[in-house]
Chain A
Amino acid sequence: MGLPDRHPLTVFLSAGATTDTTLARRLLSRAADVIVSWDELPGDSAQRLPGIPDSVDALIAVIDRRSMPTGVLLELGAALGRGLPAIILLANAELLNALPPSLRELPIVVATEAGDAVAQRLSDTIRSAVDAARASYVPEPPRTTKTYLKEVRERDWADESERRVATIFAGLGARVVGQEPANTSSQVDLAAWIPGLPSPHLNPVLIEVTGRRPSIRAKEQQLLGFLHDRGAQLGVLVIPEGDTLRWNVAEGKAIIVISIDRLSQLTADSLMRLLMDGRNKLAHAAP
């Protein structure tokens, strides 16, 4: 059950000092009852920057340039720290790739010329985000379905290592899709949907399984390329031997290099902690 559609909403409009917020205000006028903007705050708000009023239900950050103003970042952080939903309103879709990884996990709406359709989407997005923020939520551990495990085992695999890695991930609750045909050297081996990651933006995780005596650095570079090609954030490079477990965070992507034995010791919870560690490294490595 969500909020009644007529529940009055107050949104905080965060934008750069030189950002034209005319379109954003027009769109928001159909989605919110009250719009409070950073430049309308009373003078004493400077004493408690970023002074987002207590009455605000959600923050809308208008992004119209590749480098984000510090004030917008501060206000986004303040909103998220208070448990307020924050939504990114992009001036155009090309700016998506310029967003820092952690902001891509937020709901994003692009302000297009089709005003009515965008206003409706923005309204639905704000309502949905506010509902979600007010709902109590306890993360559930990933679930494994028997039918899916059967499907994983029946597929043709490039080799025993790849089959074993796919089965390990499936056993941890992931939904695994294998490359077709298997063992295509120019393509990544596997992709896995990991339930429980905090944003669909972090899925799928791409997985590359090396053969014996691999050039690990070359494989990391190759996996980095696959992540870029497919717009994915997290990668796993599985090596056949040793006790390796380390992260490589570069170019806005995070790759874990892990031996198959270490991988086989993970539980669903420890896999989630590991991936969240990578996601946090990614967020803090971004410029």
Chain B
Amino acid sequence: MTNFNLDRLSQELVRLEEAGTATSKGRKLQDLMEYLLSQIPGLTIINRNTLDTARSEEKDLWLKHDPRLSGLPFADLAVPVECKNERTRASAAYIREFATKIRDSGGFDGLFVAKAGLAGSAGYSAHSAITSELSHGIRITVITGEDIAALRSAEDLIALLQDRYTELRLFQTYKSI
């Protein structure tokens, strides 16, 4: 299994803290996730360029995978990846917006990367939104900046995603975030 380039990982984690617009900061986290995910076997990154409300170019990150090879817990073969590189924890509104994106595109799985974690705790705020969406069949697997900093290899990332997905299905929320 592939070990991550730890120098690159630590540099990109530092870059996440640099000032910028929400779009440019989000893009840095997207770039980091693209590097980490692309090390997983059986996985292909899809970048779709779109325009945000200010009509500046925004990257829409998706992954395409063969679950037998990737070991990822997503039944969908194409999965959107949402990256929030903000100082504050991700809100319920962000979760609902992401769930709409998954649902409207005809899928069930999504990967949500929240650098500062999720707002609230089990049963409240963003956690409550995760539970609510799960009850409607939308499975949002969440990882945080703290999780990313602890990763050393693609095997670690796969195990983390399996653990988070299993936690979501067991608790119908997250207790480790």
Contact = CB atoms under 8 A, between A and B. Distances in A.
Interface of A: 2, 93, 96, 107-114, 117-118, 120-122, 124-125, 127-129, 131-132, 135, 137, 139, 143, 145, 148, 175, 177, 179-180, 188, 190-193, 195, 198-201, 203-204, 206, 230-232
A200 B170 contact: no
Contacts of B120: none
A131 B44 CA distance: 11
A121 B137 CA distance: 17
B65 A195 contact: no
Contacts of A127: 64
Interface string B162-177: 1101110111100100
B108 interface: yes
A108 B104 contact: no
Nearest to B44: A2
Given A193-B166, A232-B169, A200 B74 contact: yes
Contacts of B22: none
Contacts of B77: 107, 124-125, 128-129, 132
A137 B71 CA distance: 13
A193 B165 contact: yes
Given A117-B104, A118-B106, A180-B171, A128 B166 contact: no
Closest 8 CB pairs of A and B: A124-B78, A117-B105, A191-B170, A114-B104, A132-B66, A110-B106, A128-B77, A118-B106
Nearest to A127: B64
B73 interface: yes
Given A96-B137, A191-B169, A204-B170, A128 B78 contact: yes
B171 to A, nearest CB: 7
B117 interface: no
Nearest to A232: B169
Interface of B: 42, 44, 46, 48, 62, 64-69, 71-78, 101, 103-108, 136-137, 155, 159, 162-163, 165-167, 169-172, 175
Given A121-B78, A148-B159, 12 more contacts: A108-B76, A110-B106, A112-B104, A114-B104, A114-B105, A121-B105, A121-B106, A124-B62, A191-B167, A199-B67, A203-B162, A204-B169
Contacts of A111: 106
Contacts of A145: 155, 159
B166 A108 contact: no
Nearest to B138: A93
B64 to A, nearest CB: 5
A250 to B, nearest CB: 20
A108 B75 contact: yes
A199 B68 CA distance: 7
Contact of A193 (B75, B162, B172): B162
A121 B104 CA distance: 10
Contact of A177 (B46, B105, B167): B167
A203 B73 contact: yes
Contact of A112 (B62, B74, B106): B106
